[in-house]
Structure 1
Amino acid sequence: MYSPLFFIVLHGIFLVCASNAWSSLKSIPRKTIQYEDNNVITFKGEGVWNYSTMLIREDLGLLVVGAREAVYALDIKDISVAKSEVLWKVTEEKQKECTSKGKHPDIDCRNYVRMLHQMNDSVMYMCGTNAFSPTCDYMTFGDGQLKLEGKQEDGRGKCPFDPFQRSSSVMADQDLYSASSLNFLGSEPVILRTSPISLRTVFKSSWLNEPNFVYMDVVPESEDSPEGDDDKVYMFFSENAVEYDFYNKLVVSRVARVCKGDMGGQRTLQRKWTSFLKARLDCSGPEPSLPYIIQDVFQVRHKKWRKSVFYAVFTSQSSSTDRSSAVCAYDVTDISEVFSRGKFKTEVTVEMSDVKWVTYNGELPVPRPGACINNAARSAGIMRSLDLPDKTLQFIRDRPLMDDAVRPITGKPLLLKRGPLLTRLVVDHVTVSDGQSYPVMFVGTENGYVQKAVNYDGEMHIIEEVKLFQNAESIDVLRLHQNQLYAGSASGVVQMPVSNCSRYSSCLDCVLARDPYCAWDVPSQRCSRLPTSPEDGKSNLIQSLKDGDATRCPTTAPMEPKILSLVLGNNIRLPCYPESNLAQVNWNFPGESLPYPKKKYIIYNDGILLYNASVSDAGRYTCTSVEQVKGRDYTQTLAIYDLREQSAVVVTDKIKTTLGILPEIHTTSSGLHKSEEPPWYSKTQSSESKWIVMQVALAMLSVMMACLLIWNLYMGHISPFMCCGRRQLIKSPRSLPEREYMHTGNDAVDSKQHMVSLCVTTNSGLEATSFHRNANKGDTPTDVCVFKYITDESEI
């Protein structure tokens, strides 16, 4: 029996291995470009939102963009130029009908263009949600104008009802393949082919179980096929798994395919797919977790289809705050192998209640279920799917799920990233100076960034991330065309070049970026775009992608220090901006690295802050960055500062200036001029300087208040003796003014008089509380208080 110590050690080993696996796949972009510096081209229609569909018309030089109730034809070279637009609004009747079903009138009950396809040189096919009533129409572009044909068709199964539900489609030989829903509630998912012979999937959970469709594309597998195989349409989606026993619904990622030549069955599976097969997609990280969920796919096509690759973005389905994303790549031949030679799963009943899915080990019907019509089938007299025997069709009707999962090419993700989730991706193949070709991935995120990444022999390197949108909004669509990247979100469309080599300011920065598009041009001494032909100027370019070897870079001249004045008691900020997020920034002060045992230094990303500067802080501060690539350290000096003590007289002048006191006037040979500000002067004062100024101001204010008080005492406006608030204490009754209070009977007059209480204190030391003119004659009050009204302010 194992001891607890054994399990603790085993768990620790597992954690170390998982940590090493995560760290080996870098997820930190080397350079971050903020929105203010992205230098992109943007487009946004007035009052139009949700730019989620794009169609590249290279023949017309257009980027056709579908949004909410609008379609735009943008210049593909400069999308800020809108050549034409067409509005496709919802009718008032449709909007009322949608609202009556409980949908939001301004959000759900609009027409979101969700599908755009080119049918031929002159006609495009488009579909929109149309207030939860999917509708399709034809659109043309002629004489520089977009035009809707007005030939509306039912869009159920082609376009989703819900504008925020995922769907996918592809046009092949003018046949539309689509994956969407057939009903208002979205509970009848379907993979549909709209053609003279329309086909769809079967309404069974073993076929589609609450799917979320992501991507669809064609692979021409009939080309150079010795088996005489058919072309395939592949679709990617996620759905609730039927093959796992789980306490809750478990979502898994799938890849499915159908044959283009499929015509359905004769009796079984009439008007249904006879070639529909699906398999699980595996893309898991080093840590045990729930299966990652597929979000987007991009096919990198090759002249030889067997070398084509599908790249896919996955996100974790864990509810924890530590979210992560992954990118996996799949070989087309590996997917095809699972469908053509893999085992099937079948459902069995256990204890007359539960249904389990297990591996099917029985004999397979002939022809193989789900296979396309090939030479072997034709030799047996089966020329089309209508000729397939019922035994084969019944098998595929009940068992469309494969037992084997499709594994990624490398056996693990190409990219693992924690933080904001990845949403969309496109991939470009770049041929570099050494003649090799590398796939460069452009991945969109949920907070509006695009990351450029490339895999060098198993090492994923994120070159940069660029913030495309000012707000943190999700990137909903990405397209790539002739070195230009197009991105769409809820607020607009952005166009950016795949590379901007001018961002790399030095040879070291250019080479260590390991950007396949860029190389350091030695004659011009700048980082420039790699020539289209690798032989052009090859000897004059410095580029090292796999190794990041920058030893060939020329030696740069030493950096001159920047002289700054040290103001005693001030806070001093010394900026230092590293060129790479992967570099470690170091500060050095006369022979020692900072921070050393002093609490007055704060080192942050863009510099260092020195608190309460003293004489001992004078000296030279050097900021360097160290970036490690393939075990080599590259050190670069970023900034040098010389702090020199400043005279205290300058501090006094600064306080005078702050208080508004005129500076001294000095006479020179050229005449009178205002004394110059010291070189260290800055409009942003330190907190210590502000405190000194505040103390001086308070002192001056106190002096002024004292002078004011003395002046009022001298003028007699204020008596040094106070009694009962505003009552004045007098020594003798003789000092009382003769005019006493008299009631005039006129309220207006009485209200204008100001009442003053004058008190006389006798030897008794008691204060009278009242005085009446009709007091008893025999009573001689010892204390007299006289209440008078003063009508003249001079009497105060």
Structure 2
Amino acid sequence: MRLIWQYFLLLSAFLLSVLCSREVPRLTLRQGTSDHRLPYQRNFNHSVFFLHEETQTLFIGGLNCVLQVNLNDSHVLENITLIADRDQSCDKCSCEYAVTVIEEFQDSILVCGTNGEHPKCWKLHPRDSNHSSEIEEYMDGTGISPHTSSQNSVSLAVDGDLYAAAPLYREGTSLQFRRKVGSQTSVWMYDSWIMEPTFISAFLARRPEDPMHEKIYVLFREKNSDSSPEADPWISRVARVCKVDKGGSKSFFQNIWTSFLKARLVCGIPGESLYFNRLQDVFVLHSKDWRDSQVYALFSSSWNSTAVCKYSLFELDAIFENSTFKDYEEEIPSPRPGTCVKDSRSLPTATINVIKNHPEMTDWVRPIQKDSPFYISNNNYTRIVVDRVQAADEKMYNVLLLATDSGMIHKILEDGSKAFIISETRLCSSSASVQTMKLNSEKRKLFVGYPGQMSVLDLQKCQDYNASCQDCVLARDPYCAWTENGCTSQTKGGTQNIATGETHICHNNAGPNKVMRIKRDVSSSSPVPLKIEHTVPMGFPYYLSCPIESHHATYYWMHGNHYSPCQQTLSDCLYLIPAVSEADYGEYTCESRERDYTKKVKKYNLRDPELHTRSSALKITAQKESVLTVSSAVLFIVHNLI
């Protein structure tokens, strides 16, 4: 059995290597200026971000403090200190307040943390003008914050209620999803519904036209009850509960969810029996109509690959509405288990019994692309967010922002059913992994938390493609378009070709563009770069280099009428000459071809030093003869004048 499993892993790795063969970011960028970084006073082993859109303030929770950051300039407005109770019984290393929850709750910002393994919550009233923030002890945080920062937790504030998943006990046990505090009654889960879960995300799907049927969705992975060697130890799940759920009656299921249902979340290639079972992160792209919302889920696998699967919230919800209940063979009672009702305490026992004993749906939740994930990668991605951008053609495009375990941010265009990797950017000087990400779509900025700093990725950094109209168009970046001011974020009326990236549109829309008035040949080649002169003796080894500007372009060298492929490194295209001969002298041009665009990147001229010496001697002789002739003429004129 073990040999079969090892063979399966090898086959999986081979198939995925084929599927991932084209996953190369077009550009490799670095954003290292101090304006885009906020160093922490100490490394945060755990951090949480909360974006307060009304005040345009970012709250960063770390160890013993909350930083309040102005989004306009990324400067700290205030450093609010939280001190753990020192009289609590805890080890020296654990007597700290690691902030794990920041939510807008009722009339304040709710901050909860470990408090030396005795969780506590505080109310934070953000500062007005020049006044300092007020912070007051609020309540016990057990069940809202974990006891240590390494323990799993999730929180969600909805309409004056706080929902949370956190262990009740210091050992990390009794981890479940609860409505913990707020205007409604507290409710929790039945113990047998989940097995050793890791909660990933929770969100509300709003239905303004029908608020009673609004539901909260919880995404998590749990231990697989199938312990066979070929079974993955984890299964990914999505569950839902009704927002109006008050629990059961006093006699049956009091303070326990009466609407809890769960289903298996599938991401894989069914035809190849390849599945990504370990849910890592989730981002929900909400729409005005909840049925148009999409769930982007990031998964990992046991063979060191990750995948992004995309789900329709309407199709996901339909599983709960229409599937049968796993292992339940009797007639489905009325009202159907999981239906939102005005007062759940009056639900019949038959309906609640199905929820109690058979909460899992028979059908699986499959992605929009039924036969494969949207994107498969050999990169180990850990975080995902998605932005929606209106381009110059007034169409809407989705842009995925994925963090790798080495701290890189990949910016990916959702091109129909395919992924186009626009760029990868390093924001941190080290290879530290990303702890958290928060998107500010209005300002087009991504806030990225590392152990030692918070960095800001400007999603409209169009100067990276500012060399020419062709460079701007080839980027296929919905945030950027070519205008008379170059490649800018003012996309309206600008030149873009998000669909294909072909550059012929630059000629069709050149207008008054001074760059576009440069004469180009029929192959849409670039202006000729300045020629670099090199004098090299015969018999010596030599190499020429030009920078690789795009990893999607093909680079080659032209010498006379001969084309040669380059020796390519991560950043340069090289032309190696083992020993320079007479035939190696002359002009060399490094060219790149990408789609319909040919660009001359570098141009060199190699010369024989002996010819150069003889040529210089002839020039000096000619110059001396010219000087003598001019001097004689001057003397003749002066003599005649006298």
Q: 1:305 aligns to what?
A: 290
* Residue 93 to residue 340, structure 1, CA distance change in 2 (3 Å): same
Q: 2:462 aligns to what?
A: 501
Match of 2:126 among 141, 145, 148: 141
Q: 1:719 aligns to what?
A: none
Q: CA contact under 8 A between 2:473 and 2:501: conserved in structure 1?
A: yes
Question: What SS does structure 2 have at the residue aligned with 1:166?
Answer: coil
Write the mapping of 1:426-445 to structure 2, written as runs, cut at 5 A: 426-445=385-404
Number of equivalent positions: 579
Please provide the CA RMSD for this pair: 2.8
Match of 1:232 among 215, 218, 235: 215
Write the mapping of 1:572-583 to structure 2, written as runs, cut at 5 A: 572-583=542-553
One-letter amino acid of the counterpart of residue 546, structure 1 = A
For 2:567 and 2:161, how far apart are their aligned partners in 1? 65
Q: Which segments of structure 1 move beyond 4 Å, counting only runs of 4 or more?
A: 13-23, 243-249
Q: 1:118 aligns to what?
A: 104
* Residue 480 to residue 260, structure 1, CA distance change in 2 (3 Å): same
Q: CA contact under 8 A between 2:280 and 2:383: conserved in structure 1?
A: yes
Structure 1 residues 149-206: Cα deviation after superposition (integer angstroms, max 9, x where no partner): 33242212111123123321110111001112111111211111023410001112xx
Write the mapping of 1:693-772 to structure 2, written as runs, cut at 5 A: none
Q: 2:587 aligns to what?
A: 620
Q: 1:638 aligns to what?
A: 601
Shift of 1:648: 10
* Residue 577 to residue 404, structure 1, CA distance change in 2 (3 Å): same
Q: 1:746 aligns to what?
A: none
One-letter amino acid of the counterpart of residue 150, structure 1 = E
Q: CA contact under 8 A between 1:212 and 1:239: conserved in structure 2?
A: yes
**Is 1:413 equivalent to 2:413 in the alignment?**
no
For 2:308 and 2:275, how far apart are their aligned partners in 1? 16
Q: 1:351 aligns to what?
A: none
One-letter amino acid of the counterpart of residue 86, structure 2 = E
For 1:551 and 1:527, how far apart are their aligned partners in 2? 16
Match of 1:220 among 201, 206, 228: 206
Match of 1:28 among 24, 27, 45: 24
One-letter amino acid of the counterpart of residue 185, structure 2 = I
Q: 2:573 aligns to what?
A: 607
* Residue 603 to residue 297, structure 1, CA distance change in 2 (3 Å): closer
Structure 1 residues 673-715: Cα deviation after superposition (integer angstroms, max 9, x where no partner): xxxxxxxxxxxxxxxxxxxxxxxxxxxxxxxxxxxxxxxxxxx
For 1:15 and 1:124, how far apart are their aligned partners in 2? 46
Question: What SS does structure 1 have at the residue aligned with 2:352?
Answer: helix
* Residue 159 to residue 519, structure 1, CA distance change in 2 (3 Å): same
For 1:114 and 1:438, how far apart are their aligned partners in 2? 33
For 1:619 and 1:177, how far apart are their aligned partners in 2? 73
* Residue 246 to residue 209, structure 1, CA distance change in 2 (3 Å): farther
One-letter amino acid of the counterpart of residue 528, structure 1 = T
Q: 1:484 aligns to what?
A: 445
Return the TM-score normalized by structure 1: 0.69
* Residue 394 to residue 502, structure 1, CA distance change in 2 (3 Å): same
Question: What SS does structure 2 have at the residue aligned with 1:641?
Answer: strand
Question: What SS does structure 1 have at the residue aligned with 2:112?
Answer: strand
- Unaligned 5+ segments in structure 2 are 1-10, 508-519, 521-525, 614-623, 625-642
**Is 1:84 equivalent to 2:43 in the alignment?**
no
Shift of 1:612: 4.1
Structure 1 residues 247-293: Cα deviation after superposition (integer angstroms, max 9, x where no partner): 66620111111111101111221110001111111111575445331
* Residue 39 to residue 137, structure 1, CA distance change in 2 (3 Å): closer
Shift of 1:603: 4.8
For 1:506 and 1:292, how far apart are their aligned partners in 2? 44
Shift of 1:109: 4.1
Q: Mean Cα displacement is larger for which, 252-261 or 281-290?
A: 281-290
Structure 1 residues 552-579: Cα deviation after superposition (integer angstroms, max 9, x where no partner): 3243433342221113454434221122
For 1:82 and 1:269, how far apart are their aligned partners in 2? 48
Q: 2:476 aligns to what?
A: 514
Q: CA contact under 8 A between 2:86 and 2:95: conserved in structure 1?
A: no
Shift of 1:457: 1.7
Match of 2:309 among 311, 328, 335: 328
Write the mapping of 1:443-462 to structure 2, written as runs, cut at 5 A: 443-462=402-421
Return the TM-score normalized by structure 2: 0.84
For 1:18 and 1:125, how far apart are their aligned partners in 2? 44
Q: 2:337 aligns to what?
A: 369
For 2:72 and 2:605, how far apart are their aligned partners in 1? 49
One-letter amino acid of the counterpart of residue 517, structure 1 = Y
Question: What SS does structure 1 have at the residue aligned with 2:191?
Answer: coil
For 1:15 and 1:111, how far apart are their aligned partners in 2? 43
One-letter amino acid of the counterpart of residue 440, structure 1 = V
Q: 2:42 aligns to what?
A: 47
Q: 1:257 aligns to what?
A: 240
One-letter amino acid of the counterpart of residue 30, structure 2 = Q
For 1:261 and 1:551, how far apart are their aligned partners in 2? 56
Write the mapping of 1:659-678 to structure 2, written as runs, cut at 5 A: none
Structure 1 residues 473-503: Cα deviation after superposition (integer angstroms, max 9, x where no partner): 1112111112111111211111121121111
For 1:44 and 1:562, how far apart are their aligned partners in 2? 42
Q: 1:672 aligns to what?
A: none
One-letter amino acid of the counterpart of residue 455, structure 2 = V
Q: 1:283 aligns to what?
A: 267
Q: 2:188 aligns to what?
A: 200
Q: CA contact under 8 A between 1:232 and 1:259: conserved in structure 2?
A: yes
Question: What SS does structure 2 have at the residue aligned with 1:27?
Answer: coil
For 1:433 and 1:264, how far apart are their aligned partners in 2? 50
Q: CA contact under 8 A between 1:127 and 1:136: conserved in structure 2?
A: yes
One-letter amino acid of the counterpart of residue 498, structure 2 = L
For 2:316 and 2:227, how far apart are their aligned partners in 1? 22
Q: Mean Cα displacement is larger for which, 430-439 or 54-63?
A: 54-63
For 1:244 and 1:279, how far apart are their aligned partners in 2? 20
Q: 2:503 aligns to what?
A: 550
* Residue 173 to residue 389, structure 1, CA distance change in 2 (3 Å): same
Q: CA contact under 8 A between 1:84 and 1:145: conserved in structure 2?
A: no
**Is 1:98 equivalent to 2:90 in the alignment?**
yes
* Residue 271 to residue 30, structure 1, CA distance change in 2 (3 Å): same
Shift of 1:337: 0.4
One-letter amino acid of the counterpart of residue 417, structure 1 = S
Question: What SS does structure 1 have at the residue aligned with 2:320?
Answer: helix
Bigger radius of gyration: 1
- Unaligned 5+ segments in structure 1 are 1-12, 100-104, 347-359, 374-382, 596-600, 651-667, 669-796
For 1:517 and 1:611, how far apart are their aligned partners in 2? 46
Write the mapping of 1:526-605 to structure 2, written as runs, cut at 5 A: 526-531=486-491, 534=492, 538=493, 541-554=494-507, 555=520, 556-594=526-564, 603-604=568-569, 605=571
Match of 1:172 among 158, 161, 170: 158
Question: What SS does structure 1 have at the residue aligned with 2:321?
Answer: helix
Q: CA contact under 8 A between 1:295 and 1:423: conserved in structure 2?
A: yes
* Residue 572 to residue 603, structure 1, CA distance change in 2 (3 Å): farther
* Residue 509 to residue 183, structure 1, CA distance change in 2 (3 Å): same
Q: CA contact under 8 A between 2:43 and 2:451: conserved in structure 1?
A: no
For 1:486 and 1:292, how far apart are their aligned partners in 2? 28
For 2:337 and 2:187, how far apart are their aligned partners in 1? 17
For 2:387 and 2:35, how far apart are their aligned partners in 1? 19
* Residue 268 to residue 244, structure 1, CA distance change in 2 (3 Å): farther
Q: 2:513 aligns to what?
A: none
